[in-house]
Structure 1
């Protein structure tokens, strides 16, 4: 059975778009500007999705929970791909995941989870995160020349998440394998069949670790512990069930790893290759927070966008999005829309970033945004402070990834004068 790709409107030509073309990861913006200029909405046959590239439309769709859903099971091609049949471990995580819950259950779970992830709750983690960052930097300093991605950015989130969830030490490699397996298996069409057994094994090992940790914490609660908070939180007699706890703890590992790694690497690159920005941030350290927001806007590491699925036929931009079709909200394009952002192509650390939708918008705004922001702020701030003479060595290299502009390597000489 092959998916029907004839549903696009005859009045709307197919998008000439290929996020896997050579050079796209290094600089996707000419392609995104072309999309934005050509039409409000275009159909992308290779991705079986509609592409929405303008800011106002992006916000409108992300707010619209009546006509669009984040629940992947509503996708008309979900049964064709058969991911749940191929990968039952993924189905175990998806069944109670936030993107799979009906609107009422989604709202209930978010209400129960939110107290554990407020800015105040996350701020309590600051000393732990700072200590981890300094420890990683101590090891990096001994090398002189480092790869920011491998030697710094990838070392921090796994240890932070392990500390947050009070998991056994030395599980960073498992977190990395678990994260990689879940991300790849969300797109089963991208998985090499020879890889599947290994990916499933990594996913099973990660799931078993999370389950065991939840049971340990249920039997022996800890103070100031996010997992204990999730287990004990109650609202009007409602508590998170076992499936919801598993999905949420796994989401913290998977979502908290990939996003934070790339935001650290992209922020360091964007600061170091702009001497004027580096000088501004060094002179005014408080500008770092806004600089991170500007990186998210100006050089977003997403390859494509946020997926939504039509709950009914929707007329938009002279086209009809059929029930069950996917719509990709192209964040990298929307956040460069000059109709919303003055001089959108300019990297401005003093820009008002209140309009940013980098972490989503509406009912599905990212619950982990506060944690990611704090980790990146502490990591990049310490990096800039400890190595005042550092020098960027060439341009970053990018590796293959289905949904992220994966900055695979970024070389920096920490003490050029030594």
Structure 2
């Protein structure tokens, strides 16, 4: 079956992630898609939409027949071109997410020791100090935008601290981080912005390269970059380009996940007085809250991409070799077949089946770090400002692949 035949045989798809109101509440549209056309070819996105949990887990587990390679670049070209700064494109080619098979297994095995739960837990005092600093800076306003005043400011500082970027060069690393993120805002960049971003990215890559070389000569104890440099598997180590790619992946992946999860978790807590009351008496429940937010109000918009390495039969459809599958995690995580009363926010729900951070060999290595940052940030806000209140519902900025929360206004003290 040719691509053209696939298009001709595709029924109308009740899916438009750019529709007004989708960012605020995508679930009616996703429910209709999951019920009527759970696996269907979507012409606008040039790929198959997969909305049921059973199909999602099948594809995520199947690393032999599906690969994540090329997804961010190809999908960006579908819904509006990113700046495609060559230096970042080149880094992506040796990045963990772009690799598959033995290459992926090799790099993942070398990276894993630096990102285990125990390794990340050792960062807790350092991350807490940075979060306290960010909140102190924002609190003078009284009424804050949780997104721009809190969550946007945390990931770059945490990653810079983890890498122990040299004193006096933190501002350059911050610019590098911001430029890397802006590069992944397809269609939202003005042409005149691109060259400035490219300059910041070039300088940032040089800075990280210099930091890596310095750390090779002067290793530090309990240092994530030293761990990555020194980790060895049967005589094999990570190259400088692979280390640079991992830092870029930490910035892009860690930034978006942390920023949005802080915002969505804060919003879901503040709009539920009974949940706030529970957290005051059982603060340890915050971990459960974060997992349920990932399931109930996932900030993904069009899912994660996989490419078929061969023709694959799935749920009565033939996915041809080379075709893209978009796994709608936000739909799969509301699938009643796996999550009873899926449209109810249940803080005591068993979320062991959650695939919010992926599944199988491509499970997100940064999940532990993201969870730590979100837990500490939201817990600190709730402890320091137990009477904080929502001022207005969140607003969302245009973005092709993420429900990108732009504002979440909160009064830190009761008005």
Q: What TM-score do you get using the length of structure 1 for normalisation? A: 0.92
1:318 is matched with which residue? 316
Residues 254-403 of structure 1: matches in 2 within 5 Å? 254-403=252-401
Cα distance in 1 between the residues matched to 2:376 and 2:152? 14
What is the CA-CA distance between 1:91 and the residue it aligns to?
2.7
CA gap 1:171/1:286 in 2 versus in 1, 3 angstroms: farther
1:126, distance to aligned residue in structure 2 (A): 0.3
Q: How does 1:28-47 map to 2 (within 5 A)?
A: 28-47=26-45
> Is 1:216 aligned to 2:210, yes or no?
no
5 Å matches for 1:194-209?
Answer: 194-209=192-207
Q: Match for 2:20 among 19, 22, 27?
A: 22
Contact kept, 8 Å, 2:216 with 2:226, in 1: the verdict is yes
Summarize the Cα distance change of 1:229–1:310 in structure 2 as closer, same or farther, 3 Å threshold. Answer: same
Residue 202 of structure 1 and its aligned partner are, at CA, apart by 3.3
Distance 1:322 1:198 in 2: 41
- 1:224-280 deviations in Å (ceiling 9; x for gaps): 110011011101111011211110111112211111011001000000011111111
- Please tell me whether residue 55 in structure 1 is matched to residue 53 in structure 2: yes
**In the aligned structure 1, how far is the partner of 2:117 from the partner of 2:266?**
24
> Aligned with 1:280: secondary structure?
helix
Looking at structure 1, the residues matched to 209 and 74 of structure 2 have their Cα atoms a distance apart, in angstroms, of 32
Provide the residue aligned with 1:13 in structure 2: 11
CA distance, structure 2, for counterparts of residue 357 and residue 345 of structure 1:
17
Aligned to 1:178: 179
The answer to whether the 8 A contact 2:397-2:404 is kept is yes
Q: 1:395 to 1:317 in 2, by over 3 A?
A: same
The more displaced of 360-369 and 252-261 is 252-261
Contact 1:53 1:329 (C-alpha < 8 Å) held by counterparts: yes
Kindly state the Cα deviation for residue 197 of structure 1 after the two structures are TM-superposed.
2.7
Displacement, 1:205?
2.7
**Conserved in 2, the CA contact under 8 Å of 1:390 and 1:415?**
yes
The CA deviation at 1:191 is: 5.6
Residue 80 and residue 338 in structure 1: after superposition, are their counterparts in 2 closer, same or farther (change >3 A)? closer
Q: Is the 8 A contact 1:112 1:239 kept in 2?
A: yes
In structure 1, distance between residues paired with 2:76 and 2:3: 14
Q: CA deviation at 1:394?
A: 1.3
Unaligned runs of 5+ in 1: none
- In the TM superposition, residue 351 of structure 1 has moved relative to its aligned partner by 0.4
Matches of 1:330 and 1:271, distance apart in 2: 24
- Helix, strand or coil for the counterpart of 2:184? helix
Using the TM superposition, name which of 48-57 and 172-181 deviates more.
172-181
Equivalent pairs, count: 410
Root mean square deviation of aligned Cα: 2.4
- 1:79-90 map, 5 Å: 87-90=85-88
2:409 maps to which residue? 411
Alpha-carbon separation, structure 2, partners of 1:323 and 1:74: 18
Question: How far is 1:200 from its partner?
Answer: 2.7
Deviations 1:158-194 (A, max 9, x none): 111111000133346314423324423xx5x776545
| 1:23 partner SS | coil
Q: What SS class does the counterpart of residue 308 from structure 1 fall into?
A: strand
User: Following TM superposition, by how much is the alpha carbon of 1:12 offset from its aligned partner in structure 2, in angstroms?
Assistant: 3.5
Supply the distance in 2 between the matched residues of 1:202 and 1:316 (Cα, whole angstroms): 44
Q: Does the CA-based 8 Å contact 1:306-1:330 persist in structure 2?
A: yes
Secondary structure of the residue that 1:6 maps to in structure 2? helix
**Which residue in 2 is equivalent to 1:126?**
124
1:225 to 1:182, Cα distance in 2 relative to 1, 3 A: farther
Contact 1:75 1:325 in 2 (8 A): no
* Cα 1:117/1:86, change in 2 over 3 Å: closer
Please, which of 237, 240, 243 is the counterpart of residue 242 of structure 1? 240
How many angstroms does 1:396 deviate by? 0.6
State the partner residue of 1:92.
90
Residue 5 to residue 192, structure 1, CA distance change in 2 (3 Å): farther
Measure the CA separation in 2 of the matches of 1:129 and 1:176.
17
Change (3 A) 1:30 1:202: farther
Contact 1:70 1:100 survives alignment (8 Å): yes
The offset of 1:87, in angstroms, is 3.8
1:34 offset after TM fit, Å? 0.9
Point out the more displaced range, 199-208 or 339-348. Answer: 199-208
TM-superposed CA distance for 1:217, in Å, is 1.2
